[in-house]
Amino acid sequence: MCTVCGCGTAKIEGAHKHDHSHDEGCGCNHHHHDHSHDHDHHHHPHDMHFGENEAGVSVPGMETKRLISIEQDILSKNDHIAAHNRVHFKEDGIFVLNLVSSPGSGKTTLLTRTLTDLKDQLPIAVIEGDQQTANDADRIRETGVPALQVNTGKGCHLDADMVAQARSRLDMPKEGVLFIENVGNLVCPAGFDLGEAHKIAILSVTEGEDKPIKYPDMFAAADIMILTKTDLLPYLDFDVAACLEYARRVNPDLKIFQLSSKNGDGLDQWYDWIKAGVDAAQS
């Protein structure tokens, strides 16, 4: 069962079963549960009824119902595992990028082009998330770069535990870059930290310039945006300036690349940024 999705259907290539319990913990010294206490309830006053328990009587000191204050983030388990992933990535000097977008934005095409151009300069590996099939991992492997497919089954996003498991099954590109291609979905992956250095939202010019304001959660969660398929701009009515303005409305700090995986426009800036990130990950 997955950490937060619990769907029980996630499959990772090479794994025959989900072979560890999430209750085992990760050996870290911090716990989520060190602050919990029963207390009188002040915030939600209720009418008082005595003798409603199974015995139908009220006995002083034997009240069966009680209130427990918790104040715990729903994503705390995921975030805990993500933090753990991040520590491992930092130790190995790996620059990790989480790519998110709608299906069909050209994520895999951008990735295969990037891998082909950079694989002789940097250690690289790829974790591929899709609901079904290993087609994308196969496409990646054709470039000669190691890739691991994670099938989420009915799940609509990767979570930190899936990445933690994938991490142990894939040779990590020490002092290089790990790309995590999330499930094609512009909504669900937004809230799930995987331990990455950057969440990168990819938007293609065939999708409509108002996507950032239609799906603001993702563009707010990301800190990088890539506008792809710019070679098609002459054939479309896509308003680039409006798109960038919408994106910055949602997230004023967004760093934006514009590029074409097909004709290579804008790829140099993207590659320079990746190399600078890998350098910075070594310090």
Partner 1 sequence: MHEMSLTQGVLNILEDYAKINGFAKVKTVWLEIGQLSHVEPEAMAFCFDAVMKGTIADGAKLEIVETPGQAICVDCAEELEIASRIAQCPKCGSYKLHISGGDEMRVKELEVE
Q: Output the smallest distance, CB 98 to partner 1, in A.
A: 15
Contact status: 244 vs partner 1 (CB under 8 A): no
Task: Please give the C-alpha separations between residue 102 and each of 70, 168, 195, 253, in angstroms, as whole numbers.
Answer: 36, 28, 21, 22
Q: Output the smallest distance, CB 93 to partner 1, in A.
A: 31
Residue pair 129/152 in contact (Cβ under 8 Å)? The answer is yes
Distance CA 271, CA 283 (A): 19
**Could you give the maximum distance between any two Cα atoms of the chain, in Å?**
80
Task: Please give the C-alpha separations between residue 211 and each of 202, 230, 234, in angstroms, as whole numbers.
Answer: 11, 16, 20
Helix (H) or strand (E) holding 256: strand 255-258
Distance CA 259, CA 266 (A): 4
Q: Exactly one of 187, 236, 242, 276 binds partner 1 (CB under 8 A); which one? A: 187
- In the region spanning residues 110 to 169, those forming contacts with partner 1, defined by CB under 8 A, are 155-157, 159
Strands 198-204 and 11-12: unpaired
Where does 216-264 have alpha helices with state H? 216-221, 240-250
Contact status: 190 vs partner 1 (CB under 8 A): yes
Helix (H) or strand (E) holding 25: none
Distance CA 107, CA 101 (A): 7
Contact status: 87 vs partner 1 (CB under 8 A): no
- In the region spanning residues 254 to 273, those forming contacts with partner 1, defined by CB under 8 A, are none
Nearer to partner 1, 191 or 266 (CB): 191
Q: Exactly one of 6, 14, 25, 144 binds partner 1 (CB under 8 A); which one? A: 6
Name the one range near partner 1 by CB under 8 A: 36-44, 121-129, 168-176, 264-272.
36-44
Nearer to partner 1, 19 or 253 (CB): 253
Question: Which residue is listed with tokens 């108002």?
Answer: 210
Distance CA 159, CA 156 (A): 10
Contact status: 59 vs partner 1 (CB under 8 A): no
Contact status: 213 vs partner 1 (CB under 8 A): yes
Q: Exactly one of 66, 234, 235, 241 binds partner 1 (CB under 8 A); which one? A: 66
Q: Output the smallest distance, CB 104 to partner 1, in A.
A: 20
Contact status: 62 vs partner 1 (CB under 8 A): no
Kindly write out the interface string for residues 219-238 of this chain, putting x where it contacts partner 1 by CB under 8 A and - elsewhere.
Answer: -x------------------
Q: Output the smallest distance, CB 3 to partner 1, in A.
A: 8
- Secondary structure letter of residue 92 according to DSSP: T
Nearer to partner 1, 1 or 276 (CB): 1
**Which residues contact partner 1 (rule: CB under 8 A)?**
1-7, 22, 32-33, 36, 38, 41, 43-44, 64-78, 155-157, 159, 187-188, 190-192, 213, 216-217, 220, 248-250, 252
